[in-house]
């Protein structure tokens, strides 16, 4: 075993996709338990929470079964990493999913290597959160501080709650301040396969999160037709 055996719960109603994803996870050494619907997942996770949960939104007859399940899981544990893996790609579902406390929202067209990278990143963040802080892998740009180990961001020393996707976007922008990052490059940095409009709404959400901490925040500049740029202060 390359790594400590971690337990992943996969809740997915399509049997073939479920087995495919489970195979990929198992091959990576994760102990994987699969559930086909909400009831099975609830009873299965009753006694023991997994180390990470991957949940589809539509579960059998329950079109929003995944939302209910995640709400319940989040109520039981504030730190359990939860990932939505769903066919739904509307902004509405994405926002709803992230608001419920999911750590990431992935659409089903994500490739398996990308999925594994996201899972690994979430576990890494978990590890670092429980480990003593290290200061090496840190990006600092003026008031912005990105901790790559913890996947956490602070602005003027105040924490900004970013999802993994948002964190990677901010990281991609802030790594080369002043350089315009196209939407395509942001997408590949954040391992996202969505359209331009979704990138736009992600950026809007990121801006709002920073503005919630610091109202006059305007470090993310829109360069129409090209993309976005981190303004040097």
Partner 1 sequence: MPRGAAPRLTIRVKVLLVALALAVIPLVGYGYVREIEKVLQAAHEQSVVATARAAAAALHDRPALLARRAEAGASEPPARAGSAEIELVIKGLRRAGSRIWVIDQDRNLLALEGSLRGEPEPAQPPEGLWGRFEAAVLRPFYALLLERPREDFDDALPESALSAGRAVDAALAGAPSTRWRQTPDRRAVVLAAAHPIWNGTEVAGAVVAEATTNSVLTLRNRVLEQLLTVTLATFVVGAGTLLLFASHLSARIRRLRDDAESAIDAQGRVRRPLRAVADGDEIGDLSRSFATLLDRLREYTDYLERIADRLSHELRTPIAVVSSSLDNLKSQPLPDTSRVYIERAEDGVRRLETILTRITEATRLERMLADAEREPFDLGRVVSGCVAGYAGAFPQARFALRLPERRVSMVGAPDLVAQMLDKLVANAIDFSVPGEPIEIAVDAAPGGATLAVSNIGPALPAAMRDRLFESMVSMRAGGAQGDEPHLGLGLFIVRLIAQFHGGRASARDRADGRGVVFEVFLPAGAA
How many residues appear in the chain? 233
Say whether residue 14 binds partner 1 (CB under 8 A). Answer: yes
CA 224 – CA 3 distance, rounded (Å): 45
d(CA 147, CA 74): 24
Give the x-and-dash track for 159-188 against partner 1 (CB under 8 A): -----------------------x------
For 162-193, the DSSP string reads --HHHHHHHHHHHHSTTPEEEHHHHHHHTT--
x-or-dash string of contact with partner 1, 23-52, rule CB under 8 A: xx--x-------------------------
- Told to check if 91 binds partner 1 by CB under 8 A, we report yes
Which strand ranges, in their side-by-side order, compose the sheet holding 82-86? 31-35, 7-11, 52-55, 82-86, 104-107
Grouping H, G, I as helix, E, B as strand and the rest as coil, residue 41 is helix
Closest CA to 118 of 157, 155, 164: 164
Q: Alpha-carbon distance 162 to 184, whole Å?
A: 20
Shortest Å distance, C-beta 87 to partner 1: 4
Q: Is 222 in the site for partner 1 (CB under 8 A)?
A: yes
Question: Would you state the structure tokens that stand for residue 122, as one six-digit string?
Answer: 């979430």
Measure the CA–CA gap between 153 and 162, rounded to whole angstroms: 7
Closest to partner 1 by CB, 20 vs 233, is: 20
Instruction: Between 169 and 194, name the residue whose CB sits nearer to partner 1.
Output: 194
Distance CA 81, CA 51 (A): 7
Question: Which of 39-47, 144-152, 159-167, 216-224 is the region at the interface with partner 1 (rule: CB under 8 A)?
Answer: 216-224
- Taking the complex as a whole, the smallest distance from the CB of residue 174 to partner 1 amounts, in Å, to 21
111 binds partner 1 (CB under 8 A): yes
Shortest distance (Å) from residue 116 CB to partner 1: 9
Nearest distance, CB of residue 223 and partner 1, angstroms: 6
Q: Which of 76, 77, 113, 218 binds partner 1 (CB under 8 A)?
A: 113
The reply to whether 90 sits near partner 1 by the rule CB under 8 A is: yes
CA-only gyration radius of the chain, Å: 18
Nearer to partner 1, 63 or 79 (CB): 63
Among 127, 137, 161, 195, binds partner 1 (CB under 8 A): 195
Residues near partner 1, by CB under 8 A: 14, 16-17, 20-21, 23-24, 27, 87-92, 107-109, 111-113, 182, 193-198, 200-201, 222-227
């Amino acid at each position: 075993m390359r790594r400590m055996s971690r337990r992943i719960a996969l809740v997915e109603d399509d049997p073939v996709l479920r087995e495919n994803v489970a195979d990929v996870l198992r091959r990576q050494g994760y102990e994987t338990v699969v559930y086909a619907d909400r009831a099975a997942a609830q009873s299965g996770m009753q006694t023991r929470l997994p180390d990470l949960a991957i949940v589809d939104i539509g579960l059998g007859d329950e079109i929003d079964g995944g939302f209910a399940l995640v709400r319940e899981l989040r109520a039981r544990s504030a730190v359990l990493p939860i990932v939505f893996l769903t066919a739904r790609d509307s902004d509405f579902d994405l926002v709803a999913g992230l608001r419920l406390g999911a750590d990431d929202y992935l659409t089903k067209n994500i490739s398996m290597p990308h999925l594994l990278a996201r899972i690994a990143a979430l576990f890494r963040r978990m590890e670092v959160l429980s480990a003593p802080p290290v200061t090496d892998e840190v990006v600092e740009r003026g008031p912005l501080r990105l901790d790559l180990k913890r996947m956490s961001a602070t602005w003027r020393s105040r924490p900004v709650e970013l999802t993994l996707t948002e964190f990677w976007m901010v990281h991609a922008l802030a790594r080369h301040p002043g350089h315009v990052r196209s939407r395509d490059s942001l997408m590949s940095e954040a391992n996202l396969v969505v359209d331009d409009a979704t990138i736009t709404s992600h950026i809007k959400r990121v801006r709002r999160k920073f503005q919630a901490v610091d109202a006059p925040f305007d470090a993310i500049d829109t360069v129409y037709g090209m993309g976005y740029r981190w303004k040097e202060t």
